[in-house]
Amino acid sequence: MTRYTRRTRRTLQVTGVGVAALLALSACSSGSDSSSKKDSSSASKDSAKKVTGTVTVFAAASLKESFTTLGKDFEKAHPGTKVTFSFGGSDTLAASITGGAPADVFAAASPKTMAIVTDKKDAATAPSTFVRNQLEIATLPGNPDKVASLKDLTKSGLKVVLCDKTVPCGAAAQKALDASKLKLTPVSYEQDVKSALTKVELKEADAAVVYKTDVKAAGSKVEGVEFPESANAINDYPIALLKDAPNAEAAKEFIALVQSVEGQEVLTAAGFLKP
Amino acid sequence: MTELDKSGAAAEVLTGGDTRGAGPRRPRARPGARGRGVPLPLLVPALVGLAFLLLPLIALLVRAPWRTLPDQLTSPEVWQALQLSLICATAATAVSLVLGVPLAWLLARTEFPGRGFVRALVTLPLVLPPVVGGVALLLALGRNGVVGQLLDSWFGITLPFTTAGVVVAESFVAMPFLVISVEGTLRAADPRFEEAATTLGASRFTAFRRVTLPLIMPGIAAGAVLAWARALGEFGATITFAGNFPGRTQTMPLAVYLALQNDPAAALALSLVLLAVSIAVLAGLRDRWMTAS
Amino acid sequence: MTHIDHVSGGLPADDIRADGLDAHLVVDRGTFCLDVALRAAPGDVVALLGPNGAGKTTALRALAGLTPLTDGHLCLDGATLDRMAPESRPVGVVFQDYLLFPHLSALDNVAFGPRCHGVSKAEAREQAAKWLDRMGLADHHGAKPRRLSGGQAQRVAVARALATHPRLLLLDEPLAALDARTRLDVRAQLRRHLADFEAVAVLVTHDPLDAMVLADRLVVIEHGRVVQEGAPADIARHPRTDYIAQLVGLNLYKGQADGHVVRVDSGPDVATSEELSGPAFVAFPPSAVTLYRDRPTGASARNLWRCQVAGLETHGDQIRADLTGELALAADLTTVAAAELNLHPGAPVWATVKATQTHAYPA
């Protein structure tokens, strides 16, 4: 645990109070330092308005649908460009970026995973939060168990799955449960949010605490139930230009698109919250 | 059937190659034969291969958090997970033996249409990604599965999220190793011993039980060890089918994986424990067979 | 080659007996077809003799039920065994390499059969012990098969087969796995045990000596068919195929008899002491042949043929010469005689056989 405490302390010094809430949420956060700022300014010096070539985007799996749409929009707006994606678990993507994978943009599902990249000074710009994701209860279609609140999940006989506390959605759910002083014994602590959702989709579990976007993506296979306590546990998605970006100019334009009004429309349609 | 050969070879390595019993009188390896020169084209790749297998394990030992190790290991969660792992792996091995040995016999000793295809199907769990295997098990034996819903409505049995579910998932993944190993031994064993038994009045089952089974015991033991080791390390199918709950379905590999997410040091410590226990058990079993036969 | 009708061969066709073996074994495997009739009375020891690949072992497996019959029938003591599973047949088998169960002691190997027939463990072991004692293996009850010598293992195998009190005992090359010295002893012992055995015994061998010592009756099989059957002495004296003639060491020819002469098919005449007419065999041993370097003058022998040495080989303390020419034959002579005649491959010789040393019989 010593490594984490150290990292947290340094991050606190750098980013200050604004991200304190996020830190509490995931024990780690995004960081920025002078070197990455310098890189970004030198990169912007020889920037040209016209962008071409391929942009490589590493993005969290939950962004797959919305980013694919945005990629097509980008290619349409900038003829001659091509956006290629690598979707996966944020920690896996972060590991391959620090391992030298040639990517332009990293969009992570948590500040903690983004911190892996910024800690290694692999980001060119300071990460900025572009969307947020809120928890929701996924129940069987039609909500046969009449789940209406987080408290309802503690009913005996109800099979509930949570994400493990070691992964972001599990930590967030635990935070929400603690905030409402509820004690919930699930049948399983799943290794990631998709596994938790799959258990409900296959009707093995009656309910799961997952992200809103996941419920939305699952369509009619599950039914989402919002709960007020989720306000206590909202996850931020940071995005950053990478230091060794092969196509920094186009990458900047892509990040701009994600943060633009039209980009935010696509993302909120998928269930994300505005930052 | 190179797949079979490979696994058969693996089985022999684990048991020190002592899969005798196929023939009545096969001479043991003479100790003098070892001293002679080993050809370089064999020696070099062999050593590289050995290094390749051992290096990650050595790295694990080098980077292990030895100072904090005592703290990690005294936590009750670790012992809980270890205990569960050992119980489930052993139970899965037992299930594999009870179902897998007869299956191996069927494949090796009987003729039926599509036997080659069935044999390929048996090895399917070997190539199937374990997570997919877990999903398939959910679709079959889950609360809403093809067979599972009958189990639920008739007997009130649901397997997912239970310790029994862990055993089911581990058996699914581990049994092919046993079947392949035992089938290989059966094919190598002389089927005429069974014929001799039937001419003495033994039914086919009696011949199997009293003649074939003792003859192929080394192969069964090798297969059981392979199955046990595979079950002990099983992760994907288990977490997918049985979920992850400490004390009930959280085996060591699951604990290791989840610890890896935010506490790699703890994950390393857990891995070391799993490794140490596996080596102790495998070495112990091997010695017993060597002296027994 | 003659083909003996299997129904009329050996035993009269009208002799319908309830006891003993009455089998017509037909096993068709496409490339190979076995079609053999076998009959034997209780106490008979029948040897199936034939070259490798003749179908002897297939016949034995068919009798044991290990290979299913394609056609024909199999009756033992009046009961039909055709469709009976091998474990239900009152048949005991001594396999060629014995197939003693390597994980069981000699005693437990022998007790295995009685145990399968529902005898209690203690009782089965007691019976097994008696069998082993009778076989002279009193000191080897606890020995695992790998600790037994070839001869001992063979006796355990016989004891194991007899322990189930079979009505048909089958022995597949029972002496083939033994070295020459052991073989002599074991053959004598086996002969005693077979003589004591009250039911039918069928043994398969390619060794004529084993067959003649152990069996009351020989059935010679070639290419899946019976080519000759009868008492060992009769077959030894009257071989009907080249294979048998070679086995028993005779020169054999087939031809047309006319009085004291047999006209060998596409060959010379052979004078014989017997008087016959019609198709006939004529046979004489190689030792009956006398060789000369030059044409003998005033020879009383009417059988005189001009030949050439094709090959020479030592045969015990004798030299056997293979001759070609007017009549292909084998001749035995002493080493001294061979040297005096200056025999070498290609050398021309005259061969004579006295008519009194030939033997003619109807084909």
> Which whole number is the average pLDDT over C110-137?
93
pLDDT band at A22 (very low <50, low <70, confident <90, very high): very low
Which range among A9-23, A136-150, C61-75 shows the weakest confidence by mean pLDDT? A9-23
Per-residue confidence (pLDDT) for residue C195, from 0 to 100:
87
Question: Inter-chain contact A188–B249, Cβ cutoff 8 Å?
Answer: yes
Using the predicted structure, report yes or no on whether residue B48 has a pLDDT greater than 50.
yes
**Could B199 and C101 be called an inter-chain contact, meaning their C-beta atoms sit closer than 8 Å?**
no
For chain C, the distance separating the N- and C-terminal CA atoms, rounded to the nearest angstrom, is 9
| A42 found inside a domain | no
Task: Decide if A185 is inside a domain.
Answer: yes
**pLDDT at residue number C299:** 56
* The two three-digit tokens of residue B203, written as one number: 């039914």
Question: CB-CB: which of B143, B244, B263 is closest to A164?
Answer: B244
Residue A41: predicted pLDDT: 38
In a domain, A40, yes or no: no
pLDDT in tens, C32-58: 999 999 999 998 999 999 888 888 999
B-chain residues near A4 (CB < 8 A): 262-263
User: Which chains contact A through at least 3 pairs of Cβ atoms less than 8 Å apart?
Assistant: B
Interface test with A, best of B68, B72, B157, B161 (most A CBs within 10 A): B161
Answer yes or no: do A224 and A243 share one domain: no
Which of B200, B208, B210, B211 would you mutate first to test chain C, the one with the most C CBs within 10 A? B200
Question: Which band of pLDDT confidence, cut at 50, 70 and 90, is reported for residue C2?
Answer: very low
Q: What is the pTM of this model?
A: 0.73
How many domains are there within chain A? 2
**Any B CB within 8 A of A48 CB:** no
C340-356 residue pLDDT tens: 888 888 889 999 998 88
The whole-angstrom distance between C187's CA and the closest CA on chain B is 22
CB pairs under 8 A between A and B: 65
Per-residue pLDDT at A144 exceeds 80: yes
ipTM of the complex, rounded to two decimals = 0.77
Q: Quick check: is A56 in a domain?
A: yes
Assign A165 a pLDDT band (cuts: 50, 70, 90).
confident
Do residues A116 and A251 share a domain?
yes
- pLDDT given for residue A4 in this prediction: 45
Would you state the pLDDT for residue C64?
93
Strands A188-190 and A160-163: parallel
Whether residue A93 sits in one domain with residue A109:
yes
Answer yes or no: do B160 and A186 touch at CB < 8 A: no
| Residue A36, in any domain of the structure | no
Tell me B154's DSSP state. Answer: I
Verify that A179 and A191 share a domain, yes or no: yes
- Whether residue B193 and residue C101 make contact (CB cut-off 8 A), yes or no, is yes
Chain C hits for B207, CB-CB cut-off 8 Å, are 87
- The CA distance from C211 to the nearest CA of chain B, in Å, is 23
Of B144, B254, B261, the CB nearest to A202: B144
B240 touches chain A (CB under 8 A): yes
Supply the CATH classification number for the domain B72-290.
1.10.3720.10
- Domain extents in chain B: 36-65, 72-290
| Degrees, nearest 5: CA angle B208-B213-B217 | 165
- Whether the predicted pLDDT of B138 surpasses 80: yes
Whether B14 shows a pLDDT value over 70: the answer reads: no
What value does the mean pLDDT take over residues A109-127? 86
Q: What pLDDT score was predicted for residue C36? A: 93
pLDDT at B34: 53
Position B50 pLDDT exceeds 90: yes
Beta bridge partners of C352: C290, C304
Is the confidence at residue A129, as pLDDT, over 80? yes
Q: What is the pLDDT of residue C298?
A: 66
What is the spatial distance between Cα A274 and Cα A236, in angstroms, rounded to a whole number? Answer: 10
- Of A135, A182, A139, A183, the residue nearest A163 (C-alpha): A135
* Average pLDDT of span C168-180: 89
> Based on the domain organization, do A249 and A265 belong to the same domain?
yes
Confidence band for B10, pLDDT divided at 50, 70 and 90:
very low
User: Of B265-269, C145-149, C294-298, which one has max mean pLDDT?
Assistant: C145-149
Q: Which DSSP category does B249 fall into?
A: T
Q: What per-residue confidence (pLDDT) applies to A62?
A: 84
Q: Report pLDDT digits (tens) over C284-332.
A: 988 889 888 888 876 555 788 989 999 888 877 888 899 998 888 999 9
Most confident of A118-122, C133-137, C300-304: C133-137
Which member of A1, A91, A190 has the closest CB to residue B243?
A: A190
Q: Does A128 show up as a binding residue in the annotation?
A: no
Q: Which of B135, B138, B161 sits opposite A188 (nearest CB)?
A: B161
Question: By CA distance, what is A160's nearest residue in B?
Answer: B161
Q: What average pLDDT does the segment C130-152 reach?
A: 92
Containing C168, the helix (H) or strand (E) segment is strand C168-172
Q: Which two tokens stand for residue B191?
A: 């089927």
Res C6 pLDDT > 80: no
> Residues A193, A195, A196, A198: is their CA dihedral positive or negative?
positive
B139 contacts in chain A (CB < 8 Å) = 202
- Confidence check: pLDDT of A33 > 70: no
Position A223 pLDDT exceeds 70 = yes
Please indicate whether chains B and A are in contact, defined as at least 3 beta carbon pairs under 8 Å. yes
Does A228 lie in the same domain as A241? no
Regarding whether A140 and A112 lie in a shared domain, the answer is: no
Same domain, residue pair A222 and A100 = no
> Quick one: pLDDT at residue C143?
93
pLDDT for the residue numbered B281: 82
Whether residue B160 lies within 8 A of chain A, CB to CB, comes out as yes
Q: How far is C80 from chain B (nearest CA, A)?
A: 17
Q: Which of A24-33, A216-225, C220-229 has the lowest mean pLDDT?
A: A24-33
B245 close to B162: Cβ distance less than 8 angstroms: no
Does residue B83 register a pLDDT over 70? yes
Between A145-154, B112-121, B200-209, B258-267, the lowest mean confidence (pLDDT) is in: B258-267
How far apart CA A200 and CA A223 sit, in angstroms, is 10
Query: Is A62 marked within a binding site?
Result: yes
The answer to whether the beta carbons of residues A57 and A104 sit under 8 Å apart is yes
Residue contact B142–A203, C-beta within 8 A: yes
Q: Does B198 reach chain C within 8 Å, measured CB to CB?
A: yes
Give the 3-state secondary structure of chain A. Answer: CHHHHHHHHHHHHHHCHHHHHHHHHHCCCCCCCHHHHHHHHHHHHCCCCCCCEEEEEEEEHHHHHHHHHHHHHHHHHCCCEEEEEEEECHHHHHHHHHCCCCCCEEECCCHHHHHHHHHCCCECCCCEEEEEEEEEEEECCCCCCCCCCCHHHHCCCCCEEEECCCCHHHHHHHHHHHHCCCCCCCCEEECCHHHHHHHHHCCCCCEEEEEHHHHHHHHHHCEEECCHHHHHCEEEEEEEEECCCCCHHHHHHHHHHHHCHHHHHHHHHCCCECC
Is the Cβ of B197 closer than 8 Å to some Cβ of chain C? yes
- Answer whether A4 sits within 8 Å of B262, measured CB to CB: yes
The verdict on whether residue A17 carries a ligand-binding annotation is: no
- The nearest alpha carbon in chain A to B267 belongs to A1
Residues in chain B with CB shorter than 8 Å from the CB of C99 are: 24, 190, 192-193, 195-196
Chain A residue numbers touching B242 (CB-CB < 8 A)? 188
Lowest average pLDDT, out of A170-174, A240-244, B5-9, goes to B5-9
Mean per-residue pLDDT, B118-147 = 90
- pLDDT over 80 at B16, yes or no: no
Question: Are residues A228 and A141 part of one domain?
Answer: yes
Q: Tell me the average pLDDT across C213-224.
A: 91
pLDDT band for position B8 (50/70/90)? Answer: very low
Q: Which of A4, A161, A202 sits opposite B138 (nearest CB)?
A: A202
Q: Taking a C-beta distance cutoff of 8 angstroms, is the pair C62, C27 a contact? A: yes
Residue scoring higher pLDDT (C260 or A42): C260
Shared-domain flag, residues A245 and A226 = no
A chain contacts of residue B245, beta-carbon cutoff 8 Å = 186-189
What rounded mean pLDDT belongs to chain A? 80
pLDDT of A159 over the 80 cut: yes
Percent of chain C past pLDDT 70, that is, above it, reads 94
Residue A253 in any domain: the answer is yes
Residues A207 and A71 in one domain: no
A237 is in an annotated binding site: no
Q: At what angle do helices B115-122 and B163-188 cross, to 10 degrees?
A: 130
Quote the domain boundaries for residue A193: 135-232
Between B27 and C144, the more confident residue is C144
Angle at B31 between CA B25 and CA B35, to 5 degrees: 140
Share of chain B above pLDDT 70, in %: 85
Mean of all residue pLDDT scores within chain B: 83
Pick among C101, C105, C119 to test the B interface (most B CBs inside 10 A): C101
Instruction: Let me know if residue A219 belongs to a domain.
Output: yes
According to the model, what pLDDT value does residue B38 have?
A: 85
CB contact under 8 A, C87 and B203: yes
Q: Is residue A34 assigned to a domain? A: no
Q: Looking at chain B, which residue has its C-alpha nearest residue C161?
A: B200
Residue B9 clears pLDDT 60, i.e. is over it: no
Give the pLDDT of residue B273: 84
- Residue A181 φ/ψ region, left for φ over 0, alpha for ψ in the -120 to 50 degree band, beta for the rest: left
With CA atoms as reference, the chain C residue closest to B204 would be C87
| pLDDT top residue among A22 and B47 | B47
Which string of b and e fits B68-83 if b means at least 16 CB within 10 Å?
ebeebeeeeebebbbe
For chain C, the average pLDDT equals 87
Nearest to A166 among B142, B243, B258 (CB): B258
C-alpha count within 13 angstroms, C-beta hemisphere, residue C146: 11
Beta-strand pair C200-205/C45-49? parallel
Instruction: Spell out which residues of chain C touch residue B189, defining contact as CB-CB under 8 Å.
Output: none
Please report, for the domain that includes residue A90, its CATH number.
3.40.190.10
